[in-house]
Amino acid sequence: MLDVSPLWPADLDHLRIDSPTPQALAEFYAGALGMSVSSLGGDAYLAEGHQRRLVIGRGEARGNPWNAFALEDDEQLDHYRRFVIARGGAPLASPTPLFAQGGFATSDPDGRLAVFGLRGASAMHVASGAAAEFPARLQHVVVASQRLPAMIAYYRDVLGFLVSDTVHVDDGKGGLGEANVCFLRANLEHHSFAVFRALRSASDHFAFEVPSWDDVRRWADHFAALDIGIWWGPGRHGAGNNLFFMVKDPDGNNIEISAELERLPKGAPGKRWPAGGKALNLWGPAWIRDMAG
């Protein structure tokens, strides 16, 4: 059934993060990610660079009220809206000012909106600063959920994302038990959305895909110059096979720089991983030697 999902192809285009200090957070992204900042009114800001844009609004730190996926054209969007309605989805008004007229949203089991639409005309903001010319395309977003089975079912069965890899808890007999992470895709890239099991639903991270390992190094050096230290990595995720490292913004949002993300054709099965270990990092756990060692 899902081979006919009209969501394919769709890309993560932008997302909204909330902050008690949205302007200050937007200015952080201007310097750290080579973006320009403009006001969207209502205490919301657009941070935008080449192939990357974030809407930053006022709210609780680390809020992520919606994620917006871009489809190809009106025909696909219309087909997709009917597909979602037929599977029990209830289209709501699109919250984003960045898509053209005609987009819509649906509320997932955690109450976060998934937004679908067409890219509007580019505002052509010119980013400045050291990182403005560094390539980094907003590519995926990951959330934690206390309702994992419902979230997987919603994104797969109602919204038509395809399941790539899953990570599973031990079944107590050395085999794979219930899923505790699910990676989902709507184009050739291994995931544009993923969800993992947690005690409390929350945002987890968003990622920028860069063309090569050399660009990973370039971004790490750039963050180092700004005293933004690595929080996790570098390494290579097992699920997705991407090179990665992560840093945090001042609100505690996790920003991932990624390269070499696996590509998985429509209909291709993903892998099933035991939890932890290689699913997280094929290179092994990060380790920092102590000075006495």
83 or 232, CB closer to Fe ion? Answer: 232
Q: Which of 256, 257, 264, 275 binds Fe ion (CB under 5 A)?
A: 256
Name beta bridge partners: 115: 68, 105
Segment near Fe ion (CB under 5 A); pick from 158-166, 169-177, 200-208, 276-284: 200-208
CB of 254 to Fe ion, least distance (A): 9
CB of 240 to Fe ion, least distance (A): 7
Beta-sheet pairing, 113-117 with 92-93: unpaired
CB of 258 to Fe ion, least distance (A): 6
DSSP labels for 252-286?
Answer: --EEEEEES--B--TT----EEESSGGGT-TT-S-
11 or 256, CB closer to Fe ion? Answer: 256
37 or 216, CB closer to Fe ion? Answer: 216
**Binding residues for Fe ion, how many (CB under 5 A)?**
2
How far is it, in rounded angstroms, from Cα 158 to Cα 196?
A: 18
With contact defined as beta carbons under 8 Å apart, do 188 and 264 qualify?
Answer: yes
Segment near Fe ion (CB under 5 A); pick from 81-89, 117-125, 254-262, 267-275: 254-262
CB of 121 to Fe ion, least distance (A): 30
110 or 209, CB closer to Fe ion? Answer: 209
How far is it, in rounded angstroms, from Cα 47 to Cα 23?
A: 10
Q: Is 260 in the site for Fe ion (CB under 5 A)?
A: no
181 or 207, CB closer to Fe ion? Answer: 207
Closest residue (Cβ) to Fe ion? 207
Q: Is the peptide bond before 234 cis (omega within 30 degrees of 0)?
A: yes
- What type of residue sits at position 58? R
DSSP labels for 95-125?
Answer: --SSBPTT-EEEE-TTSPEEEEE-B------
256 or 260, CB closer to Fe ion? Answer: 256
Phi–psi pair at 45, nearest 5 degrees = -130, 150
CB of 32 to Fe ion, least distance (A): 17
With contact defined as beta carbons under 8 Å apart, do 179 and 145 qualify?
Answer: no
Q: Is 47 in the site for Fe ion (CB under 5 A)?
A: no
Cite the DSSP H helix spans in the chain: 22-33, 74-86, 148-153, 213-225
CB of 244 to Fe ion, least distance (A): 7
117 or 189, CB closer to Fe ion? Answer: 189
Q: Which of 182, 207, 228, 279 binds Fe ion (CB under 5 A)?
A: 207
Q: Which residues bind Fe ion (CB under 5 A)?
A: 207, 256
